[in-house]
Structure 1
Amino acid sequence: LIGCDAGTLNFAKIKGSHTAMKSGMLAAEVVHKAITEQERGSDDLTEYTEAFNNSWLYKELYQQRNFGPAQHKWGNLVGSAYSFVDINIFNGNLPWTFEDKKADHAAMKPAAQSKEITYPKPDGKLTFDRLASVFLSNTNHEEDQPCHLTLKDPALPIRDNLPTYDEPAQRYCPAGVYEVVDNEDGSKRFQINGQNCVHCKTCDIKDPAQNIVWVTPEGFGGPNYPNM
């Protein structure tokens, strides 16, 4: 795994392009070496781990490792204060690493315990609706390919998630992939607009029942940001 799939984002800088590129460069160097070697005893590219750990990329990410977990543990104010001391004074060398013991999907609160958020209507200047943003991502999936988003139990979203969580996939998906649609007979159905998917995999992580299965789509379909 390399780049964003390997979680190379530098949380403190909110920047990941340089780290993702470096991880890809390291991987390419290891693969090139493996291909050009005439004899090789194993197909496992174990040298990548060593190259990664010896690079500036590892040092940068290790220094910032507690930034995100500190925010989760103590909130933005105290977490940011801790991170400032950890990163700027101790240079990330404090002898511990925070971990989130609870999975993201297990932290979901029922709708009855949560305050509904009313977002202002997008103004088209500073804020934009989801479909406009999906358009800018240039995402595309071939229409005749199987949907890369499937459900272990197709009835679960309406049966369980809707009454308990007001079906959170409607809100946590940034691309409007998931909708709860009213049928003509008054019943509701869970609709998946797989064409819109921007491959963030939030649904695969956040679905409270872990019912959504995200797999790699066919070909090279998905978002395409040509200016990155």
Structure 2
Amino acid sequence: MTRPVAVIIAAGPGVSGSLARRMAREGYDLALVGHQEEALVELGGQLEKLGATVSHAVADVTDAAVATAAVRGLAHGHGRVDWLHFNPSAFRHKDPLSLTSAELLDDVGLGVGALLTALQAVHPLLQPGARVTATGSMAADSPWNEAASLGVQKAGLRNLIRSIDTTLEPQGIRAVSLTVRGTLGKEGPFTPDRVADAIWAAAHQDESEWRTEVPYTG
């Protein structure tokens, strides 16, 4: 039987790495997209030790043509996609009086727009029962004014996930974002492993009571 395949956008250490390891332990093969070769190779080695077949590509996901080619190439290499996870966001320490409109658009291009690129690249290979997930944040509801673009990204991401879920539900594909209501740390309820487990649970929620946003409070 063919193993399921997960594509992770902005793979590396942290939540995306923890989620990738959880997926590998659960029997997934992985296709990783990121911007640092060294981090991708290191994570790939960890996943292979867990029994996964792993491929990766270094790509700027804000460049639609480059990202499409990279994601599509990885997906076709595996022959199917059962899970797309979207992780990137841009942190820019600027308040509304210093943040320019061009900077805001650049950040939204990474934290929201790149999801469209990745989704459209993998869509032909998405299997019925597939999942689209995204790492959300409490910044969507409680933005910090000194990093104004982050709240806009996370609010936009959550909104887009809802539209994706509505669009793909007739195909048997569901989408959900996990709103992390806390600060990531090395200990306590907001470690990357704990957040990754919450994303896993959100992706496996009962479809009869499906929610496109699941809060994680630890």
Please state which band the TM-score falls in when normalised by the shorter chain: under 0.3
With normalisation by structure 2, the TM-score equals: 0.28
Larger Rg computed on CA atoms = 1
TM-score (norm 1): 0.27
Structure with the largest fraction of strand: 2
By percentage of residues, which structure has more helix?
2
